[in-house]
Amino acid sequence: MTAEQKQLARREYGYGQDAFERGNYRNAVEHFEKAVALVKPTTILGGKVQTWLVEAYAAAGRRKEAIALCEKLSRHPDPETKKKGKSLLYILNAPRLSTRREWMSEIPDLAAISDKGGDNSGLYSRAPKGKRSPKQDLDDLEPIDWSQINTEENSFVWVALAGIALVMIGLAWLA
């Protein structure tokens, strides 16, 4: 494999990752397949590309190809790739969970909203503003009666200070 092929494979690998993260799984599969064709499958980079290809296959609904590639990855010479391949194979072979309609959240289709900022007035409405209470003037507040507030020294403060002092003396003695 030449340096140019390796660079092209890394570029396709990056494009595949970007497409996958954007949810464009078909393009991701295409880019990962191109990258796999350019690298040696038994290398670490080949293992990484194939691992991403498995995930792209699964996301694109090509489950059988994903499982077949996972079985191949579980025999990869790189221990990290082998471990990841076995993990993905376990996940792909797991039974599908049944879901009820009431457990699902429905996400509205945002394709109807135009990008040019057309008439979207019915899509969003502000909450009505409630009446605000008028701010109290500082002159209207009653002064604080200090005779009603307990300002006597608390013995807990002295106990805490003594404890801190003992700890500090102990640390100084140990140092």
Q: What is the pLDDT of residues 135-166, one digit of tens each?
A: 555 555 666 777 777 766 678 888 999 999 99
**Average of pLDDT values for 93-102?**
85
Homologous superfamily of 3-93: Tetratricopeptide repeat domain (1.25.40.10)
Q: Which stretches of 39-150 are DSSP H helices?
A: 44-59, 63-73, 79-93
Query: Hey, where are the domains in the chain?
Result: 3-93
pLDDT of residue 33: 95
Distances (CA, A) of 151 to 126, 148, 168: 49, 9, 28
> In angstroms, rounded to a whole number, what is the distance separating the alpha carbons of residues 68 and 89?
9
Q: pTM for the complete prediction?
A: 0.57
Distance spanning both ends of the chain, measured CA to CA: 62
Mean pLDDT, all residues of the chain: 84
Rounded to the nearest 10 degrees, the angle between the axes of helix 25-38 and helix 44-59 is 160
- The answer to whether 36 and 50 are in contact (CB under 8 A) is yes
